[in-house]
Chain A
Amino acid sequence: MKSNRVALAALLGLIALPLVVREPYFQHLMIMVLLWVTIGTGWNLLAGYTGQVSFGAAAFFGVGAYTAGLLSFHLGVSAWWGLALGGVVAVLVGFPFGWIAFPLRGAYFALGSLALGEVMRQLATIWESFTQGMMGVLIMPTFLSKLPYYYIALALAAGSVLVVRLVLGSRLGYYFISIREDQDAAMSIGINTTKYKMISLSLHAFLTGTAGALYMNYMGFIDPHVVFSLHDISIMAILVGIVGGVGTVYGPAVGAFIMVALQEVFRSAGFGALEALSKAIGGGFMAGLTKYVSQAHVLAFGILVVVVIMVLPNGLVGDWRKVSRLFKRAS
């Protein structure tokens, strides 16, 4: 299949990439992209394929990150254990949440997941004796080079996409999709919808929690606002899915590239271009503009989502035919 070949070529390209691009700054960005591929892919399994839209990715991301961080902080064991355990602990948090929230449907489930993220953030903030509260958790990174992190992130991202492909090829995928399309009908033909929603949630939690644990290892510092952030994690996960294509295998991978790149363009004000320009021209206006642009990424995300929903309601991958037609017309 064509999509298989494209995916394989992309994977080989990504394996070779850091050997060509040696700039640590770009390697860092690529690590972030790969983390987002993992988170977005996990979110897509629950929201895109099982139809349970979650605003709670941050809860699992943060739990994974704190698992790794606190293991190291309290017990002195290597934070790399968190990579194995972060996902598991996230799943354990997911169970009671699913038990409470899965009787809810549609928007009400989404609101429940929103609450989960906020509850976890508050918990991490208030429970100072255990989590250090707002001081956050600091650990010493194992490697100075970015390469090990890059390849672990790549393995995680590729693994998560592979998991989705395997799930979709199995009966599990059909159960998930039938729940998305019509939950009552699924129940009436004998599908234990709660059980399969729980499995989908667990996969989402595991992938996101593992990504969180890797983030801890890589960044070396976390605090509640960073890893339990509603807009930087939970909503970002949704944007990655929507821009790339909800309910498509490779959509979140594509969405991750675009969203991280976009975030960076704004954060760095056009990779420093605006700043250079304002220095060249001088005067307060450009300096002010630079400051605003670098703070405007949330606004840009909002506009992007509106445009995507209007023009490409199935995302870049889902509406690829439309996109390629646009390119053809332009050339």
Chain B
Amino acid sequence: MPSAKGETMLRVEGIDVFYGDVQVLWEVSFEVREGEILVLVGANGAGKSTTIKTISSLLTPSRGRILFQGQPVHTRRPFEVIDLGIAQVPEGRRLFPEMTVEENLLMGSLSPAAKPRRAESLEWVYELFPRVLERRKQAAGTLSGGEQQMVAIGRGLMARPKLLMFDEPSLGLSPLLTEHIFELVRKVNAEGLTVLLVEQNVHHTLAMCDRAYVLENGRIALTGSGDELMSNDHVREAYLGL
């Protein structure tokens, strides 16, 4: 049942997150709307990956809550989050290096919702990324960084998620490949998936997103459309070096 574009899909409400005694996120709130590309930008250590990990339930907020289409996410166990329709392309790809590309992809379709559509999903991924098709019998660990990133995105798509979260997909890639990966993110969005993108690469991501939040020292500092933030003095000075 497709809801209208613009309706809130994921709502993060005032979460505080700690690593042991160290507080990393302070009352972080934001929302991701159906069909959009939402970007969370920030410097190293601002809490971007922590936010993703908390949505994946790998970390539990000590305060606040996270709702996905009205259902609580933060009370679920990590492996159950995917059943809601949230998949992620983790930081550093995190493929299973000794499995083949195709095995990696198939591992993405374990959830009960995704399993019956496995063959169809595989075809879809190969269609989106012909390069992955060429490499499908190869061990994932032997691929180049860009190819691994494609497999990681493909593995996320195999779960047939409604929301796909990208954690620093440009990490360790050349500027040219970075451009290419962002192109793929747009392509995935055009396929009807809602995208939550976490990035340090502020310039590129602000240009491609619908809306963005700026995370500074574990707090949401600014929010607005990509264009608005691009012309914001603080953003220009602190992130774009203008």
Contact = CB atoms under 8 A, between A and B. Distances in A.
Report if A and B associate in a common complex. yes
Interface of A: 174, 177-178, 181-182, 184-193
Contacts of A190: 79-80, 82-83, 110-111, 159
Contacts of B95: 182, 185
B79 A182 contact: no
B77 interface: yes
B85 to A, nearest CB: 11
A186 B104 CA distance: 10
B155 A189 contact: yes
Contact of A188 (B88, B97, B103): B88
B107 interface: yes
Contacts, number: 57
A192 B111 CA distance: 11
B148 to A, nearest CB: 12
7 contacts: A174-B99, A178-B96, A181-B98, A182-B95, A189-B155, A189-B159, A192-B77
Contacts of A186: 96, 107
A277 to B, nearest CB: 49
Given A181-B99, A184-B58, A188-B78, 7 more contacts: A174-B103, A178-B107, A181-B98, A184-B90, A187-B79, A189-B82, A190-B111
Query: Which 10 A/B pairs are nearest by Cβ-Cβ distance?
Result: A185-B94, A190-B82, A181-B96, A187-B78, A190-B110, A192-B79, A182-B94, A190-B111, A190-B79, A187-B79
A170 to B, nearest CB: 14
Interface in B28-76: 56, 58
A128 B195 CA distance: 64
Nearest to B53: A184
Chain B CB count within 10 A is highest, among A174, A178, A184, A188, for A188
B149 to A, nearest CB: 14
A190 B95 CA distance: 14
Contacts of B111: 190
Interface residues of B, number: 25
Contacts of A178: 96, 99, 107
Nearest to B78: A187
A182 B94 CA distance: 7
Nearest to A171: B110
Contacts of B83: 190
B15 to A, nearest CB: 19
A187 B159 CA distance: 13
Nearest to B83: A190
B83 to A, nearest CB: 7
A266 to B, nearest CB: 36
Chain A CB count within 10 A is highest, among B83, B87, B96, for B96
Contacts of B107: 174, 178, 186, 189
Contacts of B108: 189
Given A185-B90, A189-B107, A192-B77, A177 B56 contact: no
Contacts of A182: 94-96
Given A178-B107, A189-B107, A190-B159, A184 B79 contact: no
B99 A177 contact: yes
Chain B CB count within 10 A is highest, among A181, A186, A190, for A190
A178 B107 CA distance: 8
Nearest to B158: A189
A192 B99 CA distance: 19
Nearest to B77: A192
Contacts of A187: 58, 78-79
Interface string B97-122: 11100010001101100000000000
B69 to A, nearest CB: 18
A177 B83 CA distance: 22
Given A188-B90, A193-B79, A181 B110 contact: no
Contacts of B79: 187-188, 190-193
Nearest to A196: B79
A193 B78 CA distance: 10
Contacts of A174: 99, 103, 107
B60 to A, nearest CB: 14
Nearest to B52: A188
Contacts of A193: 79
Chain B CB count within 10 A is highest, among A182, A185, A186, A187, for A185
A141 B155 CA distance: 56
B88 to A, nearest CB: 6
